[in-house]
Amino acid sequence: MQIIFRPKALHKPREDLIMPAIHPFSGRLFKQQEQQAWKVVRGCWDHLLESSGAKQKTDKVAILKQYKDAVAGVKNQIRSIYAYKDEELGGGISSRWDDELMKKMIKQGCFMLQLALFSLGGLKEHPVFHQAGLEKISYWVACIFRFKNQIPLVVLRELMKQSFFESAVRSGNWKRPKDIPRTILFDFLLQPMLIDPRNKTSFIRKLRNFAIANTCVDHAHREPPTLVHALWLSVTGRIHSGGAGKVNEAEEEDIGEWSTVRSATELQKVGINFRSNEGKGTRGIKFEKQMLEAVLYLPLLSIESSTKELLQNLIDYETNTSLGRHQREVCAYLKLMSELVRTPEDAKVLAQHGVIHGDPKQEEQLPAMLTSFWLKDAGNNQNLGLVRRQICIAYVKPKKWEKLRYLLILTVLLTLVQTIYSVLSFHLK
Question: HEC string of 176-196?
Answer: CCCCHHHHHHHHHHHHHHHCC
Pairing of strands 294-298, 301-302: unpaired
Pairing of strands 294-298, 286-289: antiparallel
Q: How many helices (H) and strands (E) does the chain have?
A: 19, 7
Cβ burial 313-347 (10 Å sphere, 16+ → b, else e): bbbbbbbebebeebbbbbbbbbbbbbbbbbebebb
Give the mean model confidence (pLDDT) for residues 114-134: 92
The pLDDT, as a whole number, for residue 82 is 63
Report the alpha-carbon angle 285-228-210, nearest 5: 85
Helix (H) or strand (E) holding 278: none
Of residues 308 and 93, more confidence is placed in 308
**Percentage of the chain lying above the pLDDT 70 cut:** 71
Q: What does the pLDDT look like over 326-380, one tens digit per residue?
A: 788 999 999 999 999 999 999 999 999 999 999 899 999 999 999 999 887 676 7
pLDDT value at 253 more than 70: no
Q: What does the pLDDT look like over 223-236, one tens digit per residue?
A: 789 999 999 999 99
Q: Say how far apart CA 285 and CA 230 lie, in whole Å.
A: 20
Please state the pTM of the whole predicted model.
0.78
CA dihedral 409, 415, 416, 422 (to 10 degrees): 170
> What are the distances in angstroms from CA 204 to CA 171, 186, 194, 223?
14, 20, 13, 29
pLDDT band of 200, cuts 50, 70, 90: low
Q: Say how far apart CA 251 and CA 385 lie, in whole Å.
A: 9
DSSP letter string, 372-397: HS--TT----HHHHHHHHIIIII--P
Q: Say how far apart CA 422 and CA 197 lie, in whole Å.
A: 61
Give the mean model confidence (pLDDT) for residues 247-251: 41
Give the mean model confidence (pLDDT) for residues 104-108: 88
The pLDDT, as a whole number, for residue 1 is 32
Q: Say how far apart CA 130 and CA 142 lie, in whole Å.
A: 18
Q: Say how far apart CA 375 and CA 364 lie, in whole Å.
A: 21
Give the mean model confidence (pLDDT) for residues 17-30: 36
The pLDDT, as a whole number, for residue 19 is 29
Q: Are 190 and 116 in contact (CB under 8 A)?
A: yes
pLDDT band of 166, cuts 50, 70, 90: very high
The pLDDT, as a whole number, for residue 325 is 76
pLDDT value at 167 more than 80: yes
Beta-carbon neighbour count of residue 127 at 10 Å? 13
Helix residue ranges per DSSP H, 55-202: 57-72, 75-79, 95-119, 134-144, 153-160, 163-171, 180-185, 191-194
The pLDDT, as a whole number, for residue 24 is 41
Q: Say how far apart CA 355 and CA 277 lie, in whole Å.
A: 8
Across the strands, what pairs with 289? 294
SS3 274: strand
The mean of the pLDDT values for the chain is 77
pLDDT value at 93 more than 70: no
Type of residue numbered 420: I
